[in-house]
Amino acid sequence: MQAEKTFRRFAYRQSPDQLAKAPVRRGVVVIGGGPIGLSIAIDLGQRGIPVVLLDDSDRIGDGSRAICFAKRTLEIFDRLGAAAPMLAKGVEWQRGRVFHKERELYSFDLLPEPGHKMPAFINLQQYYVESDLIDRAMALSNVDIRWRNRVKGLSQQTGAVTLTIDTPDGDYQLSADWVVACDGARSPTRGLLGLEFEGEQFEDQFLIADVKMTAEFPVERWFWFEPPFHSGQSALLHKQPDDIWRIDLQLSSDADTDYERRPEVVRPRIERMLGHKNFELEWVSIYRFQCRRLARFIHGRVIFAGDAAHQVSPFGARGANSGVQDTDNLAWKLALVSGGKAPERLLASYDQERSEAADENILNSTRSTDFIAPHSTAERTLRDAALAIAAKADFAKRFVNSGRLSVPCAYANSPLSTPDHDRFTTGPRPGAPIPDGPVADVQGKARHLSEALGPDFTLLVFGPVVPECPWPDVALVQIDEAKQLLIADGELLEKRFDGKSGTVYLIRPDGHVAARFRTANSAMIERALQRAKGFHS
């Protein structure tokens, strides 16, 4: 059955805060101990910000749940010091195949270019990811995880939030400068504030079954439209560690969920798909497509992230990946504001940028849902026509949508970005995430650009001329083979960044471009830096 890490339990311990006569004031309180809450707690902790993390449970959640973790998310986990065990355990993949009935329509490669530290995706059960993040969080002295602490009340005052928390020893109150709600799709915090999602809940249902078996399928994502083993519907197959395979099977919108979960009903479906009975059922669940979000992610001093802020259907692996990228966007801003190094209005850019990302994810997820499960005769006719043509003509393959897979959002409308004033042919624009690439340090040790970035802002300079860098929170990375300051695969990196000699990129702590220049002086960089910190936005 499920691996040992599934069943890790964590002891409840009484906090000294529970014995205080008045609510103790804390800086940042995170609600929810899943991957999203743990990620932001670790990120803030690494930046020197004390964090209290409250979780209403005392164990890692049951079932594999999220399994597909994208390259960008892995880069974030790497910066948080948690990626190594995930990579060691996870199943790497970058290729997928799409079938219609018995015929393969096309295959795709998500990372055809070399020189990246992280793979395109790994498949890894969420309980492993949570376990590795918990280990990392517990190694940080300024991250205080409190198990079996359930938030049952919330009130906001000027400059503070007061939480009422239920524990095995009774209730206590805690005051916080900021609260980050990462308590999932059913978010009790959202309920305490009387907030509702906006968007669409589809009627379509999918059965998830994790099965344990030995199989020779390649490590790829396989998606079927109208497969012979599940007539008229869709199916998905993914490999996980421990010889576990994720199978998704589309059900009718009026399917009885209690009935469909029964092992005696699930097993024959899987047997038809696999053509044999040599497997064990590990976990079964049923879900409906949802594409919804809060209108705003910040409400006073309560900030929402992950599924507590937005939900999408699972095809495309946009749920957990988007949530981790929420924390990547928020943590550095909250750290600057908490440390008095940036104005509070910097946090408004979290709402704007991650709303843009949520809208992009919802748009892609809705399009996938409409294609996978057409809602009308006209939609199905168009879908079937696209599938028929794609089998014969390459141009039609781009119309087939089995779930556009997760990629980081480029914040096209970010108020923190300095618009280009120079001509760039290619390369990441202001607001976009930077690409990775191979480099080596001055001793010749191989590294990657993602590892060379500073924990705060980074000045990436191509060529021998370096503008003055008098800012203590700005790291300097210079690509110049002649001076051997950072020897690199110059041709590859110059191509990815359009990095002609003299080019300068100012990179934010979350790896997105704040500004870029063909030539820059310290005054230009200072203005861009101040804007990126929210002083002039």
| Phi/psi-derived region of residue 22, left when phi > 0, alpha when psi is between -120 and 50, beta in every other case | beta
| Cα 494 from Cα 505, distance rounded (Å) | 12
For the chain, first and last CA: distance in Å? 53
Q: What whole-number percentage of the chain has pLDDT above 70? A: 95
Work out the number of other CB atoms within 10 angstroms of the CB of residue 286: 17
| Cα 520 from Cα 466, distance rounded (Å) | 9
Q: Which of 451, 441, 432, 508 is nearest to 118 (CA)?
A: 451
Task: Determine the pLDDT at residue 482.
Answer: 52
| Predicted confidence (pLDDT) per residue in 336-359, tens digit | 999 999 999 999 999 999 999 999
Query: Sorting pLDDT into bands at 50, 70 and 90, what band is 6?
Result: low
Task: Determine the pLDDT at residue 444.
Answer: 66
**If you count them, how many residues does the chain have?**
537
Task: Determine the pLDDT at residue 154.
Answer: 98
Residue 323 phi/psi, 5-degree rounding, is -65, -45
Most confident of the following: 103-107, 108-112, 389-393, 430-434: 430-434
Look up residue 435 and give its DSSP letter.
P
74 in Cβ contact with 132 (< 8 Å): no
Overall average pLDDT of the 29-34 stretch: 97
Mean pLDDT, the chain, integer: 91
Write out the DSSP string of 392-427: T-GGGGGG--S-PPP-PPP-TT-TTPPPP-S--SSS
The answer on pLDDT for 3 being more than 80 is no
Q: Which of 446, 395, 423 is nearest to 516 (CA)?
A: 423
329 in Cβ contact with 39 (< 8 Å): no
| Predicted confidence (pLDDT) per residue in 462-477, tens digit | 988 778 878 888 988 8
Which range among 121-130, 227-236, 391-400, 440-449 shows the weakest confidence by mean pLDDT?
Answer: 440-449
The answer on pLDDT for 279 being more than 90 is yes
Overall average pLDDT of the 313-322 stretch: 84
CB neighbour list of residue 14: distance below 8 Å, 6 or more residues apart: 167, 169
CB neighbour list of residue 498: distance below 8 Å, 6 or more residues apart: 424, 425, 426, 427
Query: Sorting pLDDT into bands at 50, 70 and 90, what band is 232?
Result: confident
Q: Model's pTM, two decimal places?
A: 0.94
Overall average pLDDT of the 177-188 stretch: 96
The answer on pLDDT for 484 being more than 80 is no
Burial 376-407 (b: 16+ CB within 10 A, else e): eeeeeeebeebbeebeeeeebbeebbbbbbbb
Overall average pLDDT of the 455-462 stretch: 93
Cα dihedral value 59, 37, 411, 342, nearest 10: -170
